[in-house]
Amino acid sequence: MADPKKLFIKTYGCQMNVYDSERMAEAMGGSGYIATDTPEDADMILLNTCHIREKAAEKVYSELGRFRGLKDANPDLKIGVAGCVAQAEGDEIMRRQPLVDLVVGPQSYHRLPAMEARTRAGEKVLDTDFPEEDKFEKLQSRPKASRGPTAFLTVQEGCDKFCAFCVVPYTRGAEVSRPGDRVMSEARDLVSRGVREITLLGQNVNAYHGQGTDGGDWGLARLIRELAEIDGLDRIRYTTSHPNDMEDDLIAAHGDCAKLMPYLHLPVQSGSDRILKRMNRSHTADSYLRLIERIRTVRPDILLSGDFIVGFPEETDEDFEATMRLVEEVRYGQCYSFKYSTRPGTPAAERPQLPEEVKSERLQRLQALLSQQQAEIQDSMVGREVNVLFEKKGRLPGQLIGKSDYLHAVYTQAPESLLGQIARVRITASSSNSLAGALVGV
Ligand code: 5AD
Ligand code: SF4
């Protein structure tokens, strides 16, 4: 038998890309590839790219440039670009970077093995279609090997919201939900291989509406309740959500579904109604705050996370102060915040832009407040007992690292036999991005 060929995949951006990279690696397994962690010994390099902000997209070209030496040393090396930059700029990538053999958009990953075969015949191949067939159906199912205790599972893709700053509706297309039976069988398979926690993924995951196993329509809450019936699956999470899709039954599930973890990523982007309108967000600061209140009524300890954009076109000091006030009011446990980045082809790109210094200054102030809130919430965990799912060994001898229900990273002295298990841990200390704890009853 020929030696297996080696595939190096580098993943940028969101968790959906992480999931997609795993699926692509599995699909290429069928073509005799095994994964490698180093580009130097690879027969194929695949960059799974992100187009959400300008910096993310530019990284692709600088990274590709770095592979020139490898291609000189090994002319058989094939280089591919996948993900959202591939979707948005496929032709340009081929023109700008002759090293690239293959460009594949996110909806065509099931065609990757056939595309790779064509590159071996010396062709350059580009596929950024939105094909009729379902790529998840066509992608080879996961190999039966056991795996770590946490997994992502994409249940929904695409976005119909068209926020004025965002490329996702263009790169990932319209909202599509996978049928319930496909999601259920993938989840059961994951659990049979040791997974205890599943994070359901979608660009707009709470807009999930898939065909149920009973033929009816399942919203995300129903899907979560069905998944919660799977023995051995202990934790369910989902990300990322839009405030307008937080339906009543999903809020209720946060109160009464024990396996649904008390953590919610619910981006608001801005606290100014004027800017929210210009962003085409179709909610107000007040409607968001009322929504948070309803969620906290059913689950008072829920940890909230969000996304913010500062320096959106026309954002005044007053608008920015409204964002700061909203943050003060919500008290987030964790957040992502960004300077507005102009994305060609989106409505906001056509508007007058704010100076870079203004964006930087606002981002600094917002991040200082968000870090302070994160630290306060972490510090408030000290002395409390939490459940931790241990995922891997720590750097210190005898140490394991896991996540609490609230998604805090927790370092604990614990026997290796607890890897993949959930244990009670008393939190003893809080540091910048993690907590330390001790096993309860030991
Ligand atoms: N500029 C800055 N941030 C953006 N995001 C999306 N588009 C842009 C942009 N053009 C942020 C939003 C979104 C997160 C995934 O990325 O906050 O929620
Ligand atoms: Fe982008 Fe808005 Fe859709 Fe989120 S909801 S993916 S920010 S367009």
Q: In what order do the strands lie in the sheet with 197-201?
A: 150-154, 197-201, 235-239
Residue 2 has pLDDT above 80, yes or no: no
* Same domain flag for 10 and 129: yes
How far does the centroid of ligand 1 lie from the alpha carbon of residue 39, in Å?
30
Token code pair at residue 289: 């705050």
Mean pLDDT of the chain: 95
Shortest-distance atom of ligand 2 to CA 242: 5
Pocket probe for ligand 1: among 17, 55, 85, 166, the residue whose CB has the most ligand atoms within 8 Å is 166
- Provide the pLDDT for residue 147: 84
pTM: 0.95
Token code pair at residue 65: 């440039």
- Provide the pLDDT for residue 257: 98
Q: Residue whose CA is closest, atom 16 of ligand 1? A: 52
Domain boundary among 261, 288, 305: 261
Residue 348 falls within a domain, yes or no? no
Q: Please name the residue that has the structure tokens 């909203």.
A: 326
* Same domain flag for 207 and 125: no
- Provide the pLDDT for residue 130: 86
Residue 253 has pLDDT above 80, yes or no: yes
* Same domain flag for 10 and 126: yes
Domain boundary among 231, 261, 291: 261
3-state DSSP percent of the chain in helix, strand and coil, to 5: 40, 25, 35
CATH classification at residue 127? 3.40.50.12160
Reported as a pLDDT band with limits 50, 70 and 90, residue 131 is confident
Q: Please name the residue that has the structure tokens 């994160």.
A: 374
How far does the centroid of ligand 2 lie from the alpha carbon of residue 159, in Å?
6
Residue 332 has pLDDT above 60, yes or no: yes
Reported as a pLDDT band with limits 50, 70 and 90, residue 136 is confident
How far does the centroid of ligand 2 lie from the alpha carbon of residue 263, in Å?
20
Is the separation of the CB atoms in 228 and 257 below 8 Å?
yes
* Same domain flag for 50 and 127: yes
* Same domain flag for 199 and 167: yes
* Same domain flag for 127 and 168: no
Residue 329 in 3-state DSSP?
helix
How far does the centroid of ligand 1 lie from the alpha carbon of residue 52, in Å?
6
* Same domain flag for 109 and 206: no
* Same domain flag for 126 and 174: no
Q: Residue whose CA is closest, atom 18 of ligand 1? A: 307
Residue 275 falls within a domain, yes or no? no
Is the separation of the CB atoms in 34 and 7 below 8 Å?
yes
Residue 411 falls within a domain, yes or no? yes
* Same domain flag for 106 and 190: no
Residue 227 falls within a domain, yes or no? yes
Reported as a pLDDT band with limits 50, 70 and 90, residue 142 is low
Residue 254 falls within a domain, yes or no? yes
> The domain containing residue 224 runs over which residues?
144-261
Reported as a pLDDT band with limits 50, 70 and 90, residue 141 is low
Instruction: Report whether residue 158 contacts ligand 1, using a CB cutoff of 6 Å.
Output: no
Which residue ranges have their beta carbon within 6 Å of ligand 2? 159, 161-163, 166, 168-169, 203-204, 242
Q: What is the mean pLDDT of residues 156-180?
A: 96
Is the separation of the CB atoms in 183 and 152 below 8 Å?
no
Domain boundary among 135, 156, 189: 135
Shortest-distance atom of ligand 1 to CA 14: 15
One-letter amino acid at 317 equals: D
Q: Which ligand is nearest to the CA of 346?
A: 1
**Cα 250 from Cα 102, distance rounded (Å):** 41
pLDDT tens digits, residue range 201-218? 999 999 999 999 999 999
Residue 214 falls within a domain, yes or no? yes
Q: Please name the residue that has the structure tokens 């990757």.
A: 112
- Provide the pLDDT for residue 143: 62
* Same domain flag for 257 and 228: yes
Instruction: Report whether residue 266 contacts ligand 1, using a CB cutoff of 6 Å.
Output: no
Q: What is the mean pLDDT of residues 53-77?
A: 91
* Same domain flag for 41 and 21: yes
Residue 255 falls within a domain, yes or no? yes
Please tell me the total count of domains within the chain. Answer: 3
How far does the centroid of ligand 1 lie from the alpha carbon of residue 53, in Å?
7
Q: Residue whose CA is closest, atom 1 of ligand 2? A: 166
Instruction: Report whether residue 309 contacts ligand 1, using a CB cutoff of 6 Å.
Output: yes
Neighbouring CB atoms inside 10 A of 344's CB total 11
* Same domain flag for 56 and 151: no
CATH classification at residue 395? 2.40.50.140
- Provide the pLDDT for residue 144: 65
Instruction: Report whether residue 238 contacts ligand 1, using a CB cutoff of 6 Å.
Output: no
Residue 442 has pLDDT above 90, yes or no: no
**Cα 9 from Cα 36, distance rounded (Å):** 8
Token code pair at residue 227: 């998944």
